[in-house]
Structure 1
Amino acid sequence: MSDMIRVLVVDDSVVIRKMVSDVLASDPAIEVIGVAANGSIALDKIDKLKPDLITLDIEMPVMDGLETLKELRKLHPRLKVIMFSTLTERGARASLDALSLGANDYVTKPANVGSVAAAQQCLRDELIPKIKGFFHRGPALPAKAPVPAPAKQPVASPVVSPAASVRPGLRQRVDIVAIGISTGGPNALMEMVPTLPKNFPVPIVIVQHMPEMFTKLLADRLDQKSDIQVREAAAGDKLAPGLALIAPGGFHMTLVRKGAVVETALNQDAPENSCRPAVDVLFRSVSDLYGANVLAVIMTGMGQDGMLGCQKIKAAGGQVIAQDKESSVVWGMPGAVAGAGLSEELIPLNRLGSEITRRVQAARFGSK
Structure 2
Amino acid sequence: MNDSGFKKYRVMIVEDSSLIRGYLIRALQNDPQIEICGVAENGRIAVDKVKLYNPEIILLDVEMPVMDGITALPLLVGACPEAKIIMISTLTAKNAAISIEAMSKGASDYLEKPSAETDKTLFKTELIQKIKAIALSIRKVGEKYTKDDEFGFLKAENKLQVPPQLNKVSVSAEKTPPEKNHNTIIKDGHRQTAYVPVLPPASATPAVFTNDDNRFAGFKPDILAIGSSTGGPNVLHEVFKQIGNSLGHIPTFITQHMPPKFTTFLAQSIATTSGMRCTEPQDGQKVEKGWIYIAPGDYHMLVEPKGVDKIIRLTKGEPENFCRPSVDPMLRSLVNTYGKNILTVIMTGMGSDGKLGAKLVHEKGGKVIIQDEASSVVWGMPGAIAKEGFQDGIYSSYDIAKQIIKICRRDL
TM-score bucket of the superposed structures, by smaller chain: 0.7 to 0.9
Is 1:275 paired with 2:275? no
Checking the alignment, whether the CA contact within 8 Å between 1:254 and 1:266 is kept in structure 2 is yes
Q: What is residue 129 of structure 1 aligned with on the other side?
A: 129
Q: Judging changes above 3 Å, is the alpha-carbon distance between structure 1 residues 167 and 148 closer, same or farther for their aligned structure 2 residues?
A: farther
Please give the alpha-carbon distance, in whole angstroms, between the structure 2 residues aligned to 1:51 and 1:124.
20
RMSD: 2.6
Displacement of 1:153: 11
Q: SS at the partner of 1:133?
A: helix
Q: Judging changes above 3 Å, is the alpha-carbon distance between structure 1 residues 344 and 165 closer, same or farther for their aligned structure 2 residues?
A: closer
Q: Judging changes above 3 Å, is the alpha-carbon distance between structure 1 residues 122 and 150 closer, same or farther for their aligned structure 2 residues?
A: closer
Displacement of 1:213: 0.9
Deviates more, 1:65-74 or 1:339-348: 65-74
Structure number with higher relative contact order (C-alpha < 8 Å, ≥ 6 residues apart): 1
Return the match for 1:59 from 55, 58, 63. Answer: 63
Q: What is residue 266 of structure 2 aligned with on the other side?
A: 218
Q: What is residue 229 of structure 2 aligned with on the other side?
A: 182
Structure 2 unmatched runs, 5+: 141-152, 166-201
Q: What is residue 359 of structure 2 aligned with on the other side?
A: 311
Q: What is residue 75 of structure 2 aligned with on the other side?
A: 71
Residues 230-262 of structure 1, C-alpha deviation per residue, up to 9 Å, x if partnerless? 112221222222111000111111111101111
Q: What is residue 88 of structure 1 aligned with on the other side?
A: 92
Q: What is residue 37 of structure 1 aligned with on the other side?
A: 41
Displacement of 1:94: 1.3
Normalising to structure 2: TM-score of the pair? 0.79
Please give the alpha-carbon distance, in whole angstroms, between the structure 1 residues aligned to 2:234 and 2:93.
19
How many matched pairs? 354
Deviates more, 1:40-49 or 1:171-180: 40-49
Is 1:168 paired with 2:214? yes
Please give the alpha-carbon distance, in whole angstroms, between the structure 1 residues aligned to 2:277 and 2:27.
42
Checking the alignment, whether the CA contact within 8 Å between 2:211 and 2:407 is kept in structure 1 is no
Checking the alignment, whether the CA contact within 8 Å between 2:253 and 2:293 is kept in structure 1 is yes
> Superposed, which structure 2 residues align to 1:190-209 within 5 Å?
190-196=237-243, 197-198=245-246, 200-209=248-257
Displacement of 1:36: 2.2
Q: What is residue 286 of structure 1 aligned with on the other side?
A: 334
Q: SS at the partner of 1:94?
A: helix
Q: SS at the partner of 1:134?
A: helix
Please give the alpha-carbon distance, in whole angstroms, between the structure 2 residues aligned to 1:103 and 1:295.
28
Is 1:258 paired with 2:273? no
Deviates more, 1:192-201 or 1:228-237: 192-201
AA partner of residue 115 (structure 2): A
Checking the alignment, whether the CA contact within 8 Å between 2:224 and 2:253 is kept in structure 1 is yes
Displacement of 1:225: 2.4
Return the match for 1:139 from 151, 154, 159. Answer: 154
AA partner of residue 406 (structure 2): R
Return the match for 1:248 from 276, 284, 296. Answer: 296
Please give the alpha-carbon distance, in whole angstroms, between the structure 1 residues aligned to 2:42 and 2:76.
13
Q: SS at the partner of 1:193?
A: helix
Deviates more, 1:323-332 or 1:334-343: 323-332
Q: SS at the partner of 1:135?
A: helix
Residues 168-202 of structure 1, C-alpha deviation per residue, up to 9 Å, x if partnerless? 34223311111001122112111112333445321
Q: SS at the partner of 1:17?
A: helix
AA partner of residue 26 (structure 2): D
AA partner of residue 117 (structure 2): V
Checking the alignment, whether the CA contact within 8 Å between 1:8 and 1:51 is kept in structure 2 is yes
Structure 1 unmatched runs, 5+: none
